[in-house]
Amino acid sequence: MNILFSFILLFSASCVVSYTIQDQFYQCITLHSDRSIPFSTAFFTPTSNATSFNSVLKSTAQNLRCLTPSQQKPLLIFTALIESHIQAAVICAKELKVQLRVRSGGHDYEGISYTSEMKRSVSFILLDLAKLRAIKVDIEDNSAWVQAGATIGEVYYRIAEKSKTHGYPAGLCTSLGIGGHITGGAYGKTDRLLDVMNHSFPELGLTQKDCIEMSWIQSVIYIAGYPSNIKPEFLLQGKSLFPTVNFKAKSDFLRVPVPVTGLQGMWEKFLQDDSPMMIWNPYGGMMGKISESSIPFPHRKGVICKIQYLTAWTDGDKKTADKHINWIRGLYEYMGTFVSKFPREAYVNYRDLDLGMNRNANSNFLEASVWGKKYYKNNYDRLVLVKTEVDPDNFFWHEQSLPILPFKVGQDGKSLIH
Ligand SMILES: Cc1cc2nc3c(=O)[nH]c(=O)nc-3n(C[C@H](O)[C@H](O)[C@H](O)COP(=O)(O)OP(=O)(O)OC[C@H]3O[C@@H](n4cnc5c(N)ncnc54)[C@H](O)[C@@H]3O)c2cc1C
């Protein structure tokens, strides 16, 4: 009897296998997916094949600053092949209590779609949508259905393929992912240069002879800064022609003109960096006619222009990074006197973690309002209500995600969620 008992004990001990989160995620996806679509090649882990894991991680990552060894990397990358993989990934990550980060085009300024800046270690899975890039353009009803992983350049190409008279103003950089770009606002340009110049600056005497005539899709290539011999088909590669670099950026909105002395001080600061850049996008026109509360993007009536400050560098040395980051922080501090106030507005698509960060998944409404109000102004409160309603467990969270309220506001008053 004793011998039999020890045998059973030994046998069961040898059967206790500890599965890693990666194994469990794979098994869970298998359970929740259509098995007629093979997907074993859609998983990448640093332990099974570090080379392909790193190559997929870097494939669309735009900011090298976010790929340094100190940055927390995903436990696993899952490149969804069909839409139901996304649902399966959410179910499985929830079941395993592991965070899910979503990446479309990888252009997040702080890289939070593929790495983590949290001070405490965070285990997360990267759901990469780069393989979901179908585009259906319907010229008859002026609509396009686009999967989140497609790039804006591919959308431009597909529109131009169907029509010589249609266009779509979105990002200037053609490798931007639809998923992150559109959800954050997405500005671009349409060309009414002659009208605008002749109306606002007639003294410059701009005429049609000073312009180069080209098709809309050619202008996309031109504005992206690509050489003129690049064919529009290049856009289908979903890549930029330019190499990736380390960068840090910040943004502001201007509501009153900067006085000349202010501009002089700005130039002095500006020239202290070896790769400074500033982009001032004019506002007004239609931008000012849409109500601040009609969509989350609130920077409307009264805005003269948006300012983006940017600095970039190529070497991965920490000293170099610190030098550039300190410089841009100094410039931003200086500009505080001249730009919008209460709140000092910022463009959410130019994510800036200097504005503040959630400390963990128990993000706090008041703490998050510091950056939330800058990005969304009064829409922040409404967005938090929506978030509380659709994601009461705050499953989708990251450094600057919207928080949830600790209570739910219903018709019969407040009830506690947590
Ligand atoms: C070189 C460059 C040029 C740019 N030019 C412009 C410009 O001309 N105009 C402009 O408006 N902006 C511009 N941007 C900013 C750009 O719009 C944002 O960085 C945008 O968030 C990028 O989207 P993405 O899908 O490529 O990035 P990602 O890094 O994949 O995603 C950005 C954020 O959105 C989330 N996200 C991604 N996909 C989804 C999804 N399907 N569902 C929910 N959340 C999702 C991510 O988790 C992350 O938080 C530029 C950025 C760069 C780096």
- Concatenating the DSSP letter of every residue in 284-300 gives -THHHHS-TTSSS----
- Over residues 272-297, mean pLDDT: 95
Q: pLDDT band for 406, please (50, 70, 90 cuts).
A: confident
Q: pLDDT band for 11, please (50, 70, 90 cuts).
A: very low
Q: Which residue has the higher pLDDT, 110 or 194?
A: 110
- Over residues 74-83, mean pLDDT: 97
115 lines ligand 1 (CB under 6 A): no
Q: pLDDT band for 94, please (50, 70, 90 cuts).
A: very high
**Residue whose CA lies nearest to ligand 1 atom number 3:** 173
**Residue whose CA lies nearest to ligand 1 atom number 17:** 181
- Which SS3 state, helix, strand or coil, does residue 410 take? strand
| Residues 194-220 pLDDT 10s | 888 899 899 999 999 999 999 999 999
Separation of 146 CA from ligand 1 center, angstroms?
15
**pLDDT surpasses 50 at 5:** no
- Over residues 237-250, mean pLDDT: 96
- Over residues 290-295, mean pLDDT: 97
Cα-Cα-Cα-Cα torsion 310, 314, 318, 321, nearest 10 degrees, comes to -10
**pLDDT surpasses 70 at 4:** no
106 lines ligand 1 (CB under 6 A): yes
Backbone phi and psi for residue 278, each to the nearest 5 degrees, phi listed first? -140, 140
The set of residues, in sequence order, having a beta carbon less than 8 Å from that of 95 and lying 6+ positions away, is 28
244 lines ligand 1 (CB under 6 A): no
Separation of 155 CA from ligand 1 center, angstroms?
15
**Residue whose CA lies nearest to ligand 1 atom number 48:** 113
Pure H helices in 48-146: 50-59, 83-95
Domains and CATH numbers, the chain: 2-128 (3.30.43.10), 135-237 (no CATH), 246-353 (3.40.462.20), 356-416 (no CATH)
Nearest to 189 by CA among 295, 279, 313, 311: 279
**Residue whose CA lies nearest to ligand 1 atom number 39:** 179
User: Which of 5-9, 255-259, 273-277, 303-307 bottoms out in mean pLDDT, i.e. has the lowest?
Assistant: 5-9
Nearest atom of ligand 1 to the alpha carbon of 148: 41
Residue 85: Cβ within 10 Å count? 23
**pLDDT surpasses 70 at 8:** no
176 lines ligand 1 (CB under 6 A): yes
**Residue whose CA lies nearest to ligand 1 atom number 7:** 171
